[in-house]
């Protein structure tokens, strides 16, 4: 039975690696396209929610021993899976920093104020 469980674990690991490779390939193909990357992140978040609220909750333990085993696994394998959302303030700070870096190259293409225009 232990060999069967090991084989199942290897199959799962292989499937997860294929999924990770596919997601990375999609992300690379969307590089530079923030709208497409945002769509990918939203899809991953929805998948996470669907798995958590459906399949995972259906398999939650119904006795102490199974609960202890699950909690022990969660603790030993890195905690609860979580998809972090970027905070709007952090996003705006990064956007401002990038804009500042882009404009600090000394180019004269940026108008500093309406007073610089000679009408």
Q: pLDDT at position 78, please?
A: 83
Q: Is there a domain that residue 29 lies in?
A: yes
Q: What are phi and psi of 4, to 5 degrees?
A: -65, -45
Q: pLDDT at position 103, please?
A: 79
**Low-confidence spans in the chain with pLDDT less than 50:** 110-111, 116-117, 119
Q: Is there a domain that residue 81 lies in?
A: yes
Q: pLDDT at position 119, please?
A: 43
Q: Is there a domain that residue 114 lies in?
A: no
Q: pLDDT at position 96, please?
A: 82
Q: Is there a domain that residue 108 lies in?
A: no
The pair of three-digit structure tokens given for residue 9, joined into one six-digit string: 């674990």
Number of domains forming the structure of the chain: 1
90: domain range?
Answer: 2-98
Q: Is there a domain that residue 110 lies in?
A: no
- Compute, in degrees rounded to 10, the torsion defined by CA atoms 68, 74, 79, 81: -120
Q: pLDDT at position 77, please?
A: 86
Q: Is there a domain that residue 30 lies in?
A: yes
The pair of three-digit structure tokens given for residue 27, joined into one six-digit string: 């992300």
Q: Is there a domain that residue 86 lies in?
A: yes
Q: Is there a domain that residue 105 lies in?
A: no
């Amino acid at each position: 039975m232990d060999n069967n469980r090991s084989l199942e674990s290897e199959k799962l690991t292989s499937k997860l690696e294929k999924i990770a490779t596919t997601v990375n390939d999609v992300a690379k193909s969307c590089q530079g396209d923030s709208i497409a990357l945002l769509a990918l992140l939203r899809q991953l978040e929805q998948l996470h929610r669907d798995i958590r609220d459906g399949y995972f909750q259906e398999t939650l333990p119904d006795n102490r021993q199974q609960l202890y085993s699950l909690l022990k696994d969660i603790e030993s394998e890195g905690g609860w899976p979580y998809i972090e959302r970027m905070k709007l303030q952090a996003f705006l700070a990064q956007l401002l920093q990038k804009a500042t870096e882009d404009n600090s190259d000394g180019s004269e293409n940026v108008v500093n104020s309406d007073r610089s225009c000679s009408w």
